[in-house]
Homo-oligomer: A and B are copies of this chain.
Amino acid sequence: MEIKVMKNILGENDKIAAENRKMFREKKIVVVNLMGSPGSGKTSLLEKTLSKIAEKINVAVIEGDLFTARDAERIERHKIPVVQINTSGGCHLDAAMVRRAAESINLDETDLLIVENVGNLVCPAEFDVGENFKAVVLSITEGDDKPMKYPLIFKESAITLLNKIDLLPFTNFDVAAAREDLTTLHPNIEIIETSCTKNIGLDAWADWLLKKVEVI
């Protein structure tokens, strides 16, 4: 019975996600759904790259959190339009939340919309919000077993950012093993190793986002 209920919710969500996707396409906006565990570094990665990207294209951000507007405040400091969604305990964003948040954004002046999802390796991957691409951040401090333990989010994502790579010497994370598991799950997945504190891979991540906008 529980499974049936979940299907109904997802069915309704998929309908709204399709409407979102149509709206974003008409406005020629590329939407990236950025996901990852709590503290994997999603907001820091945005902070480090969006200012650079914003010199070339118009970027807007939707921040998803259960509570607080801390992440939105961090993004706003970089002079980037941002809307905070608080799910009040909900473990993921859904298409209706993103639609409501998008109403507060000037879509005619937006080329790239980044939706930073609730910190969670499970539920966000199950809910289409109308994005063009999903991206997942995996902090290497989380361990190299995570792709096989949480496969859906890595299967769904066009790119994995192996973040906090500067902490590699202090962990037993096996980069080769993680890359192999990621490629097994998703043969075409792109993988970038990143570090916000040591400025590693940030240009590659910014370029990845810019190219997605150029292609559309």
Q: A67-B151, A89-B126, A141-B164 are in contact. List 19 more A-B contacts (CB 8 A).
A: A5-B9, A37-B38, A38-B142, A38-B143, A38-B150, A39-B141, A40-B142, A66-B149, A67-B148, A67-B150, A70-B145, A70-B149, A89-B152, A90-B122, A91-B120, A120-B121, A120-B122, A122-B123, A166-B170
C-alpha spacing A66/B121, complex, angstroms: 11
Q: Which chain B residues lie closer than 8 Å to A9 at the CB level?
A: 2, 5
Interface size class of A (residues with CB under 8 A): 35 or more
How many monomers of this protein are in the complex?
A: 2
Q: Which of A2, A118, A126, A150 counts the most chain B CB atoms within 10 A?
A: A150
Q: Which chain B residues lie closer than 8 Å to A164 at the CB level?
A: 141
C-alpha spacing A164/B40, complex, angstroms: 15
Question: What mask results when residues 127 to 151 of chain A are scored 1 for a CB within 8 Å of chain B, else 0?
Answer: 0000000000001011101101111
With an 8 A cutoff between CB atoms, is A210 at the interface? no
Q: Which of B66, B68, B142, B150 contacts A66 (CB 8 A)?
A: B150
Q: Which chain B residues lie closer than 8 Å to A38 at the CB level?
A: 37, 121, 142-143, 146, 149-150
> Interface residues, chain A, CB within 8 Å of chain B?
2, 5, 8-9, 37-40, 65-68, 70, 89-91, 118-123, 126, 139, 141-143, 145-146, 148-152, 164, 166-167, 170
